[in-house]
Each structure stands twice: as C-alpha cells, then as structure tokens.
Amino acid sequence: AQKITQTQPGMFVQEKEAVTLDCTYDTSDPSYGLFWYKQPSSGEMIFLIYQGSYDQQNATEGRYSLNFQKARKSANLVISASQLGDSAMYFCAMREGNSGNTPLVFGKGTRFSVIA
C-alpha cells in the first residue's frame, strides 16, 4: 500500500494566489514526521517544512504552512502569495519513528506551476 499519496499530478495558479497541495499518509507508527520538499528543474531537493506527529500546532515557515489533520492522516501544504519561482515539483514525504537513521518515503509528487 502507498504510504504517501499525492493525488494531484499537476496544479497551477496565478501569481499572488494561494494554493493547497494535497498529501495523505498511511502509518501505524504513533511517532512519525511529515516533510515537504521542493524540486526545481535543476534536480536539487529543497526542504520546505516539517510536522511531527506529536506537534500540537500546524507548522509554518514563511509563506509555507502545513495543514495537519491527524485524524484524516493528511498533511497538505499551503503556499500563500505564489511567486513565479515557486514553480517546481513538490514532494510530500514521511519518516516513521523518530530515529535519524530512518529514511524518508516520498509521494509521487505534484508539479506546481505559477503563471504570470
């Protein structure tokens, strides 16, 4: 079964609009972490935001916020005031447990495009 599901192959918005990129996850481990990474065409993976399973508040990092709904097992990324430079692939990922030696499992990604 898929551990990370991103149902939107592609999304596009106009500049300055907000967008929500969907992510649902599946785990039976009570301790886990959820991550969002951005991958521009250059290929590098850029860390955006992290949410721990025990965190009481939704994570925020500048224009990025994570809408964490634990009961629904969803961790949607919200990007406010989109900019042209936000156009990239966005991957949701999960780490089960809280060990630093556990790898991330990635979703299939969403291609996000911002149009002028």
Partner 1 sequence: GAVVSQHPSWVICKSGTSVKIECRSLDFQATTMFWYRQFPKQSLMLMATSNEGSKATYEQGVEKDKFLINHASLTLSTLTVTSAHPEDSSFYICSARRPSPFSGANVLTFGAGSRLTVL
Footprint of partner 1 (CB under 8 A): 33, 35, 37, 42-45, 47, 50, 52, 54, 91, 95, 98-109
How many CA atoms are closer than 13 Å to the CA of 24, on its beta-carbon side? 9
Select 50 or 64, whichever has its Cβ closest to partner 1: 50
Q: What separation in angstroms does the CA of 87 have from each of 42, 48, 83, 101, 110?
A: 12, 14, 8, 31, 10
Nearer to partner 1, 33 or 112 (CB): 33
DSSP 109: -
HSE at residue 53, side-chain half, CA atoms within 13 A, is 17
Question: Locate tokens 């991958």: which residue?
Answer: 39
Q: Cβ 98 to partner 1, closest distance in Å? A: 6
Nearer to partner 1, 52 or 63 (CB): 52
Q: What is the CA radius of gyration of the chain?
A: 14
Nearer to partner 1, 30 or 116 (CB): 30
